Amino acid sequence: MSNNLKCTDFEENLSDYIDQSLSENDRIALETHLHSCPTCSELLSGMKLVMAVGRDFPIHTPPAWLATRIVANTPPPRASIRKRLAAFAQSLLEPRTALAIFTAAIVMGWIGGGSVRGAVMDRAEGVVSCAYDHAIRTYYRSPVIIEIHSRFDQLMENS
Amino acid sequence: MGTTDAELLARCRNGEHAAWDMVVRQHHQRIYNLAYRYNGRFDEAEDLTQEIFLKIYRTLHTYNSDLGAFETWMMRVSRNCIIDHYRKLKTERRQTDSLEGEHEQVAEVGNRFSNPADMLDHRELSERVHAALIRLSGDLREVLILRDLEGFAYEEIVEIVQVPIGTVKSRINRGRVELAKMLKREF
């Protein structure tokens, strides 16, 4: 830093000067300028005042209800899928849930177990027989089978 | 940040409401003051404090104690939240009105004193400095708040603001110079 310091140079280094982080030469250059420039001298005083005020800035106490309001407005955390599955499995193992499932199974079996099972079986049998009929009809109506059968009949008559 | 606080955060992450309650009560004064220092309005500071804590809660899982202190991380989240808040307000053209209103209110108090020496009781001076601080550009204001009001070290400010240390130092110096000049014009 030259000894013919300008005010702008002085301003740029003012914080470093206050923090005492300038080299010896730079400090001397700044102080030389400071003694000859009332504007910069005033600026230095102003900056020191600003820093002093900043250090003792009043600390305001937030309203007593603020923390309570923040906590009350914090949404409950969303559990991970793993945790939710674990909770579900845990609920299944609870005696109340097991008893409810067991009771429901017995009641359903008692009310409609037979008819339900019968209906399902009837339906299954219907589907199978329908498919069987369809296959038989297709077999006997196919031209190849008809030809084979007619040849076979002719052979029987000739013999 | 001691072990107790680390445990507290772990409990918060596990969804323990009581632990979160303790974190809020431990830190809300600091966040509240930070918000107030940015905007100079108590009502906005209250809303901002809540907004900041909700953000902290949502992003708590991203905090890594190996990368720095909880307080520094919390201040970074707060600073980002405050900036986002005022960016939104700026687009709605409401920020200027509220800050100017606040400043005029503070300036009026100051104008009652003809002699600066009479005026310079501590509270009065703080209000003047705060009013001038609010008129600084956002970049300068935030580093000045963090350094001169909150007392953070340069390295911590680098972490919070995420700009190089040279930029931080230069902004702090420019902010102080501008603030000193503003106050000089007022006196």
Q: The domain spanning residue B84 has which CATH number?
A: 1.10.1740.10
Contact B15 A76 (CB under 8 A): yes
8 Å CB contact of A47 and B151: no
Structure tokens at B58: 């949502």
From CA A22, how far away is CA A27, in angstroms rounded? Answer: 6
Share of chain B above pLDDT 90, in %: 46
CB–CB of B184 and A43 under 8 A? yes
- B125 and B160 assigned to the same domain: yes
Domain encompassing residue B32: 1-92
Please tell me whether residues B86 and B138 are part of one structural domain. Answer: no
The pLDDT value recorded for residue A158 is 80
Max distance between CA atoms of chain A, in angstroms, equals 145
Yes or no, beta carbons of A58 and B126 under 8 Å apart: yes
> What pLDDT band is residue A79 in, cutting at 50, 70 and 90?
low
| Burial environment of residue B116 by CB neighbours within 10 A (0 to 12, 13 to 18, 19 or more) | middle
Rounded to 10 degrees, what is the CA torsion of A149, A152, A154, A157? Answer: -120
Chain A nearest CA to B25, separation (Å): 6
Q: Are B12 and B71 in a shared domain?
A: yes
**Which residue of B57, B122, B179 is in closest CB contact with A50?**
B179
Whether residues B74 and B2 fall in one domain:
yes
3-state helix, strand, coil in chain B (%, to 5): 85, 0, 15
Q: Which of the residues in chain B have pLDDT under 50?
A: 1, 3, 95, 98-99, 101-116, 118-119
Whether residues B62 and B75 fall in one domain: yes
B36 and B87 belong to one structural domain: yes
Query: Which residue, B62, B92, B122, sits at the end of a domain?
Result: B92
Q: Which residues of B touch A77 (CB under 8 A)?
A: 15
At residue B110, the pLDDT reads: 41
Answer yes or no: do B163 and B184 share one domain.
yes
Residues B80, B74: Cα–Cα separation, whole Å: 10
DSSP, collapsed to helix, strand or coil, labels residue B147 as: helix
Domain final position from B92, B123, B156: B92
- A143 in contact with B, Cβ within 8 Å: no
- B2 plus B48 within the same structural domain: yes
Query: Tokens standing for B180?
Result: 């000193």
Indicate the number of domains in chain B: 2
Q: Residues 58 to 117 of B: which have CB under 8 A from any A CB?
A: none
Distance from the A92 Cα atom to the nearest Cα atom in chain B, whole angstroms: 23
For B154, residues 6+ apart whose C-beta sits below 8 A from its C-beta are B147, B165, B168, B169
Start-to-end Cα distance in chain A: 133
The pLDDT-based confidence of A90 (bands split at 50, 70, 90) is confident
Give the per-residue pLDDT at B117. 52
Higher pLDDT, A80 or A106: A106
Question: What per-residue confidence (pLDDT) applies to B61?
Answer: 87
Q: Could you tell me the CATH number of the domain that includes residue B106?
A: 1.10.10.10
pLDDT, tens digit (0-9, with 9 covering 90-100), for A27-64: 999 999 999 999 999 999 999 988 988 888 888 999 99
What pLDDT shows up at residue B147? Answer: 93
Q: How far is residue B96's CA from residue B102's CA, in Å, rounded to a whole number?
A: 10
What is the structure's pLDDT at B115? 47
Q: Are residues B110 and B185 in the same domain?
A: yes
Confidence of residue A67 (pLDDT cuts 50, 70, 90): very high
Q: Are residues B135 and B187 in the same domain?
A: yes
Which of A74, A78, A82 is most worth mutating to test chain B (most B CB atoms within 10 A of its CB)?
A: A74
Residues 7-46 of A with CB under 8 A from B: 11-16, 42-43, 46
Domain boundary among B92, B123, B157: B92
Examine the domain organization and report whether B88 and B102 are in the same domain. Answer: no
Nearest CA in chain A to B154: A19
Let me know whether B82 and B125 are in one domain: no
